[in-house]
Amino acid sequence: MSSCKLDHPVTDVVSKLESQKSFLPADIFSHCQQFIESSPTQLELNELFHLLKKYDLASAGEQIIRNKKLNELVSE
């Protein structure tokens, strides 16, 4: 994902996750919630935010790529 100089607080990441809930596979949504509750680093929060950003507007192929990256991030 593109790098961003802005640090995204947990509240913004939770809000972004909730806004994409209906577009995400249920298991990925659940794993993301658990990941956020596990006190991730700021870098991990930023990465999660950017993977979720405009997820609903991404092509099916891009969503598959993001799903893989999301699974890798939240399963570490």
The mean per-residue pLDDT over the stretch 52-67 comes to 97
Does some domain include residue 1? no
14-34, pLDDT tens digit by residue? 999 999 999 999 999 999 999
- Domain span at 51: 10-74
If one counts the domains in the chain, the total is 1
Given the structure tokens 């990441």, which residue do they identify? 13
Does some domain include residue 37? yes
Does some domain include residue 53? yes
Q: Using a cut of 0.85, tell me whether the model's pTM lies above it.
A: yes
Angle in degrees, 0-180, between the axes of helices 26-37 and 10-19, rounded to the nearest 10 = 170
Q: What is the pLDDT of residue 27?
A: 96
C-alpha pair distances (Å), 13 with each of 2, 50, 60, 61: 16, 9, 22, 23
